Structure 1
């Protein structure tokens, strides 16, 4: 796999999981409304995918070692991976009540993150346990923080 594709895949997948889970947990706990969660997922899937793709584009342009094709490969890959990963979280919200959908989404996100990081660690010759542990810990911190922020928003503005 070319490095530019790997950059877009890595960033789009990780951002798609972490950002979407944080948003879902915060909105779900704060409002208790499926519509708010679905609207948030769609909005973040589109707007944040464009934002992340632009960020990767500019970051890749700032590196003198990248050619124009590699820059655009990373940009386009980031956009589509982030878009599709984020949109995949709508499925549990459509199939289950909100509380169950949030639990299923956390499991789905962690499964994606663990699977990707396993292959990433193996490709680099790193310990999968260390790489997975580090990234899952960050995801769990985001989930916990989003939960508390959502609760506070619900209390203060609900």
Structure 2
């Protein structure tokens, strides 16, 4: 049971941070609209949380070897964790101008990923620096790619 809960929490946290940051940065780069960013965050916090939870559920069923209770625990943990984590990113957008809000959101994502990576590394008895760096590099790739893709979309579809 504990492994199912950990799997759901780790998956939900990682996906909640990386997906939401990519969405925020991409929408900001393409639209410069706080409304688009807030709408995107709230939509993804529900729709993608359900989607990821269902995907994890089906994956765990396909693996076999786990009871229904363990699978449902991982499913629920994924859904709730991703929903809550993704929703936290709306706070800076509500409180700050959009540019600074994106910076705060990225900083919040770094804190969450680094903290989760540290916990994972310590639980496995490994040096946290390498795990943290690996996870932050992957997150950075997503954010940079989303930024440039958003810029391209904004340029390609601009009026006039």
TM-score normalised according to structure 2 size: 0.97
Say which SS state the counterpart of residue 65 (structure 2) adopts.
coil
Say which SS state the counterpart of residue 54 (structure 2) adopts.
helix
Measure how far apart 1:113 and its partner are.
0.4
Aligned to 1:92: 92
Measure how far apart 1:42 and its partner are.
0.6
1:82-117 Cα offsets, whole Å, 9 max, x none, are 000000000000010000000000000010000011
Say which SS state the counterpart of residue 116 (structure 1) adopts.
helix
- Whether 1:46 aligns to 2:46 is yes
Specify every segment of 5 or more residues in structure 1 that has no aligned partner in the other structure, as ranges: none
Report the Cα distance in structure 2 between the residues aligned to 1:65 and 1:132, rounded to whole angstroms.
Answer: 31
Measure how far apart 1:63 and its partner are.
1.7
Report the Cα distance in structure 2 between the residues aligned to 1:58 and 1:7, rounded to whole angstroms.
Answer: 14
1:110-131 Cα offsets, whole Å, 9 max, x none, are 1000001101100011220111
Aligned to 1:123: 123
Aligned to 2:17: 17
Say which SS state the counterpart of residue 115 (structure 1) adopts.
helix
**Correspondence list, 1:97-116, <5 A:** 97-116=97-116
Measure how far apart 1:36 and its partner are.
0.1
Report the Cα distance in structure 1 between the residues aligned to 2:97 and 2:146, rounded to whole angstroms.
Answer: 19
> How many matched pairs?
158
Deviates more, 1:8-17 or 1:57-66: 57-66
Report the Cα distance in structure 2 between the residues aligned to 1:12 and 1:64, rounded to whole angstroms.
Answer: 21
TM-score normalised according to structure 1 size: 0.98
Report the Cα distance in structure 1 between the residues aligned to 2:74 and 2:82, rounded to whole angstroms.
Answer: 12
Measure how far apart 1:50 and its partner are.
0.4
